[in-house]
Amino acid sequence: MTQDELMPIIDALIFASDTPLSIQKIKQLLDEDGGNATTLKQIREAIDDINQENKIQRRGFFLQEIAGGYQFRTRPNYAVWVKKLKQTKPFRLTQPTLETLAIIAYRQPVIRAEVEKIRGVDSGGVIKSLLERGLIKIVGRKNIAGRPFLLGTSSRFLEVFGLEKLADMPSLKEYESLDDGQLPSLLQGKIGEEFALEDDTDGDAPVEAQTATDEELLHAALTVAEETGETVPDDVIAPGGEVSNDAAEQGSAPGRTTGQEEEQSQ
């Protein structure tokens, strides 16, 4: 297959996909026709050519490598027009919610009690909100009394913050603690204009002032998992097995070991 034939096919596949499409998946689809196998190098070159063509023609969108795949995204300088089309309420994170998300992102897998110890307040309502928005997920249970949920970020988190993997997050090496006031700004700076974030709730109290039971957290996680295809480990639903943790699928957060690694090193 020539490059001129390959480009529009890849263009169509990525455009039609609801989630970022990996090069491996593109190759799998292309090879199903039984013709000559397409190499990963050819696919990468075709993607580069598509992006270059879009840039030359000054199109309002581009291909971005994100969450392990490629996805079309509108250019940030046209966000004001896209917002007029969608007419949706911006999806912003308040400071407490962004702070909680940052702690989970850099400490994952982490339990609720550890998040609340760092923040100094009940964080149940914030965690539930982040679960409902698909930015975090329950990745397992910690093998301690009560077997509390282990929390980690989702593929949606990578999409929203424009990251290919967790290791692409800003490094924490220059910060001594997770409760540093500048921490949330590290993630805030990664939010694209087309993903303006707003944290809101239909209740009378702000989300950060609410609490949530484990049952409510699990219900939120299962509901979103059904909609997005994210996995919920079996032992989370029936807490009888060993600790499960799939946060490593996204790679380790930069400049920070996981909670389990820290325990093993002590």
Q: Is the Cα torsion angle 131, 97, 189, 62 positive or negative in sign?
A: positive
Helices (H), the chain: 3-16, 23-31, 40-56, 79-86, 95-107, 112-119, 124-132, 155-160, 183-188, 214-228, 234-237, 259-265
The distance in angstroms from the start CA to the end CA of the chain is 56
Please state, in angstroms and rounded to a whole number, the distance separating the CA atoms of residues 245 and 266.
Answer: 20
Name the band, by pLDDT with cuts 50, 70 and 90, for residue 200: very low
Of 3-7, 93-97, 148-152, 257-261, the range with the lowest mean pLDDT is 257-261
Name the band, by pLDDT with cuts 50, 70 and 90, for residue 64: confident
Q: What is the pLDDT of residue 175?
A: 52
Name the band, by pLDDT with cuts 50, 70 and 90, for residue 86: low
Q: Which domains does the chain have, with CATH numbers?
A: 3-74 (1.10.10.10), 95-256 (1.10.10.10)
Q: Is the pLDDT of residue 111 over 90?
A: yes
Mean pLDDT of 209-237: 81
- Residues 156-174 pLDDT 10s: 888 877 787 888 887 766 5
How far, rounded to the nearest angstrom, does the alpha carbon of residue 142 sit from its chain's CA centroid? 22
151 beta partners: 110, 138
